[in-house]
A and B are shown apart, each in its own frame.
Chain A
Amino acid sequence: MYEILAKEELAPTIKKITVKAPLIAEKTRPGNFIILRVNEKGERIPLTVADYDKETGQVAIIFQEVGYSTKLLGSLDKGDHIHDLVGPLGHHLEMEGYKKVVLLGGGSGTALLYPKVKGFAESDAEVITITGARTKNLVILEEELRKKSDRLYISTDDGSYGHHGFVTDVLKDILENEEVDLVVAIGPVPMMRAVANMTEPEGIETIVSLNSIMVDGTGMCGACRVTIGGETKFTCVDGPAFDAHQVDFEELMNRLTFYQNEENMAEEMEVD
């Protein structure tokens, strides 16, 4: 059982929860994720470790309430407990050897992006961060990202804050004017695909972090399988980050919809 030490609402439906998990805090590096079960009857859901501190042994997750389990998690308060937490899982990202890196986060993808921005800030690379949201009050982690980035761009779909449009518009501008040697994109699948399509003709190395459906997260079930360069890979043990130009996004998108009806049904039930 993991006691919730702090809970914060970053935006409507986007929440941050901090728990004490010293072993996980000790081992996590940017890109790792955990799997948790809110309670005894809950599903195992994967969430990126958004922040971690070896000194205090604390680990933070930031999540968007999209369905039953994330809503249930969002309904917990300081002092409540999360039943199980396992990790850190997946490969971390290699961050050395780049000169100029652009990191894009779309929606709650920004939460997943944050540890990577922090990681690159400690490397020699110049860090350009682009974060996008539907509207102003969904923009998250602005201050934190500003502190860790050399430049920060914000875009909103409705133009209520920052650039009016998509994160990809901002990326396009940058790529037209500057030499970039790595792009990292995390967010909804269509956004990641758009980024991949933009950087591929330019031959710019691009990494995306995939959010496949998972069960165990230890390579045991294959629920998380994705096609990378024509080969089947398991997101949980081979990823979650992959070369964007090799990803079969179409298939990923399809696989993410499989349980939609069931999830809607679960959601209609009271969050108890």
Chain B
Amino acid sequence: MAKNPNKTPMRNQKPEERIHNFNEVPYGYSEEEALVEAERCLQCKHQPCVKGCPVEVPIPEFIDAVLAGDVEKADRIIKSKNNLPAVCGRVCPQEEQCEEVCVMGIKNEPVAIGRLERYVADYNLERECEPVEDKDMVTTYPEAKGRKVAVVGAGPAGLTAAADLAKYGFDVTIFEALHETGGVLRYGIPEFRLPKNIVDKEVNAIRELGVDIKLNTVVGKTITVDELFADGFEAMFIGTGAGLPRFLNIPGENLNGVYSANEFLTRVNLMKAYKYPEYKTPVIISDKVAVVGAGNVAMDAARTAKRLGAEEVYIVYRRAEEQMPARDEEIEHAKEEGIIFKLLNNPIAIHGKDGRVASMEVQEMELGEKDDSGRRRPVPIEGSKWELELGTVIIAIGQSPNPLLTRNTKNLKTEFWGGITVDDNLQTSREGVYAGGDVVTGAATVIKAMGAGKDAAANIKDYLISEGKKNE
């Protein structure tokens, strides 16, 4: 049978409906759709797709299990490498990872690996299958028994490191500053892209591996790195993420009605302001909203504002269409939902009335010479300033590493921009302390953070079960 050149499409909630609710936009594959898609995989011997995945999910194997109708086995195969498949199947930028190098993609569209991963994970979460471990897929080390390892941060990096360390047999405790797990998965990525009950279920599966999670604990404040070592922890993984919001440093930025994307999204997602007043944290959105920036965070903020009832939502970005850093799928979804794109426009001031945002002054730009990053640099067009009237401005121009742990830990080397310095083994300047994810790389992706958590866990295992450190 000739294979379908195109990906099996995913059914979505209609734009005119979904802008009024926070339910998930794509519905996920049905069994029939999943089988049709699984059929497209060529089962390549050299498996390029696996190398495209930062945690090396055994892609052809799990797709084969789907085809054979054994979705539970497919789940075990994925889980041997990836503890958050329902999350990754939804938010991975597959087009630049596994799917980018898929052989099917050379002439046709690549296999929809992410969608299949989501299908498998959801199938098993819905049926609440016991998290069965395939014995030969996980190696436990008797030398790890009873030895304590600390993980700081319950974002994707920390969760992955913790899961793997627990599988090796260590006694793992995660310390998380917030009152909920998940990091950005919880406070940043909105419900309509990643339902929080999915995060809950995947985190619970990690708890069932024996990982203890201590919430409301800020390492560096509530307890220090040194105290953890004194308490008998023998090694540590730091996955504290990049959550410190950047601002534009333009006049008017501290007016009421200007939010960082993090504050806006945290109020809505973590604190559930979209269910205000049932939940007690408010968020104020006016009829006209501008989101500054054009990455995934900006798209999430814009689409969230729309759902909260804003009539006009603008994306204001100083560069051009093809330079927008957001995933194509996110931009597409935003456009379908009526988000208005004001590209090549640079905000230069925010003006207020009675202490609240009234308008944003914007400078039109055109593309000039290429800059260091190889992108054509936007330059102002003389005499082309204009005013955009609005009541809310959301700044989504990036985040820097979280400052609390690094500021309060001695002898932990950091880069000038705040990231933690690590060597090739992801070890920091302190022995036994490893780090990975956004706090090392700057804001990146869920799967890269997970890859780092996985590598660090393996290195911590080697470090603790190597000669000098062996438990006599």
Contact status of A220 and B245, CB under 8 A, knowing A27-B221, A88-B221, A89-B221: yes
- Judged by a CB distance under 8 angstroms, whether B135 is at the interface is no
Q: Inside 8 A of A83's CB, which chain B residues have their CB?
A: 179
Task: Check A266–B179 contact: CB distance below 8 A.
Answer: no
Q: For this complex, into which size category does the number of interface residues on chain A fall?
A: 35 or more
Q: B266: shortest Cβ distance to chain A, in Å?
A: 5
Interface contact A237-B403, CB-CB below 8 Å: yes
Q: Looking at the complex, which one of B253, B266, B355 makes contact with A232 (CB distance below 8 Å)? A: B253
Closest to B180 in A: A84
Stretch of A7-15, A38-46, A182-190 with 4 or more beta carbons under 8 angstroms from chain B: A38-46
Contact between B254 and A223, CB atoms less than 8 A apart: no
Say if the beta carbon of B284 comes within 8 Å of chain A.
yes
Q: On chain B, which size bracket covers the interface?
A: 35 or more
Contact B243 A222 (CB under 8 A): no
- Chain A residues whose CB sits within 8 angstroms of the CB of B282 once the complex forms: 259, 262-263, 266
Is B217 close to A, CB under 8 A?
yes
Chain A nearest CB, measured from B172 CB (Å): 19
Is B205 on the interface with A (CB-CB < 8 A)?
no
The answer to the question of B465 belonging to the interface, with a C-beta cut-off of 8 Å to chain A, is no
CA A251 to CA B251, docked complex, whole Å = 13
Question: By the criterion CB–CB under 8 Å, are B216 and A86 in contact?
Answer: yes
Of the candidate stretches B161-169, B271-279, B440-448, B454-462, the one touching chain A is B271-279
Q: Determine whether the beta carbon of B254 is less than 8 Å from that of A232.
A: yes
The reply on A69 being an interface residue by CB < 8 A is yes
* Residue of A27, A219, A222 ringed by the most chain B CB atoms within 10 A: A222
Whether A103 is near chain B, meaning CB under 8 Å from some CB there, is no
Verify if A265 is at the interface (C-beta below 8 Å from B).
Answer: yes
Beta-carbon nearest neighbor of A231 in chain B = B249
Contacts A220-B243, A221-B245 given; indicate if A86 touches B256 (C-beta within 8 A). Answer: no
Considering the chains assembled together, what is the distance between the CA atoms of A191 and B281 in angstroms? Answer: 28
**A27, A44, A215, A254: which contacts B263 (Cβ < 8 A)?**
A215
SS of B interface (majority): loop
B402 touches A218 (CB 8 A): yes
User: How long is the Cα–Cα vector from A255 to B357 in the complex, in angstroms?
Assistant: 12
Secondary structure type dominating chain A contacts: mixed
Whether B222 lies near A222 (C-beta < 8 A) is: no
Task: Please provide the 4 A-B residue pairs with the shortest distance between their CB atoms, ordered closest to farther.
Answer: A262-B282, A221-B263, A254-B355, A220-B243
User: Which of B's residues lie within 8 Å of A, judged by CB?
Assistant: 177-179, 187, 215-218, 221-223, 243-245, 247, 249, 253-257, 259-260, 262-263, 266-267, 271-272, 276-282, 284, 355-356, 402-404, 407
30 chain-A/chain-B pairs, Cβ below 8 angstroms: A23-B217, A23-B222, A24-B222, A27-B222, A41-B278, A43-B271, A43-B280, A69-B280, A86-B217, A86-B218, A215-B266, A216-B266, A218-B177, A218-B178, A218-B404, A219-B244, A219-B403, A220-B243, A220-B262, A222-B247, A222-B260, A222-B263, A223-B263, A237-B403, A237-B404, A257-B256, A258-B256, A258-B257, A259-B282, A262-B282
Q: Which residues of A contact B (CB under 8 A)?
A: 23-24, 27, 37, 41-44, 68-69, 83-89, 215-216, 218-223, 225-227, 232, 237, 251, 254-255, 257-259, 262-263, 265-266, 269
Q: Beyond A215-B271, A223-B259: 9 further Cβ-contacts under 8 Å?
A: A44-B281, A86-B218, A232-B254, A237-B407, A254-B255, A258-B284, A258-B356, A262-B284, A266-B280
